[in-house]
Chains A and B, each alone.
Chain A
């Protein structure tokens, strides 16, 4: 268990930097994690996707790229553009939820 300070708040994270207490998440915290992940600015679309992810995870659903592509906020191509490189890993980290355990 480690701690990190984002936007002046101390946040609990695991060894890979994923937040372990989702309730500590704020938009400001998200913006700072995003910068660490190489995303300079979070747009409204970013936040809509992050909220969607947070909602799905709180419902206990398994997150997949496919589900995000059908969320109505972005399509799969758009998702890769919003969170370049490894989108699901990055987006979940920024959304303050655990690392996804799905294969698709």
Chain B
């Protein structure tokens, strides 16, 4: 066994879902990689595209219906029927965003700026962009490209490189 350290050199993180928690999981991992000096690329596809769509990125929601992990403050069970009451999902989502802000976790637009400021790259999936009929101008200005799956794999190529799918 060799004790030689072989640190990760590159990471490609795929974000395919658009809920607050799915998007932030990807962003926190991406920013953490940039901070470690790891070459970092983010690939947004399907509903994950919401995170780089200007009009939606800062008002992402969490699902209050069909989310068995949901509890009320203090750990009280969150009744399933309550999740469907109008306004509840928006209120819960706003509360989640507020709690993250308290931990100095920035809103999505600022988080993406932090990642690109450190040299991280951001890509959108061509197929999903076409499917949702999005235009380049609907997406963030800092986008490195709208690319195919094949191009995504090219980006991830190399030694000590990992792909993470959230």
Question: A-side interface residues toward B, CB under 8 Å?
Answer: 62, 64-67, 69, 75-77, 80, 84-89, 102-104
Assuming the A-B contacts A86-B36, A87-B35, A104-B28, are A66 and B117 also in contact, with contact meaning beta carbons closer than 8 angstroms in the complex? Answer: no
Interface size on B, residues (CB 8 A): 16
With a cutoff of 8 Å between Cβ atoms, the chain A residues found around residue B36 in the complex are 86, 89
A-B contact count (CB 8 A): 43
**Chain B residues in contact with chain A, CB under 8 A?**
28, 31-32, 35-37, 103-106, 110, 113-114, 117-119
Contact A66 B32 (CB under 8 A): no
A22 to B36, CA, bound (A): 23
A-B contacts, 22 listed (Cβ < 8 Å): A62-B104, A64-B104, A65-B35, A66-B104, A76-B114, A76-B117, A77-B117, A77-B118, A80-B119, A84-B37, A86-B36, A87-B118, A89-B35, A89-B36, A103-B32, A104-B28, A104-B31, A104-B32, A104-B103, A104-B104, A104-B105, A104-B106
A62 → chain B closest CB, angstroms: 7
B37 adjacent to A85 (CB under 8 Å): yes
Which of B104, B105, B113 contacts A76, CB < 8 Å? B113
| Contact status of A66 and B37, CB under 8 A, knowing A104-B28, A104-B104 | no
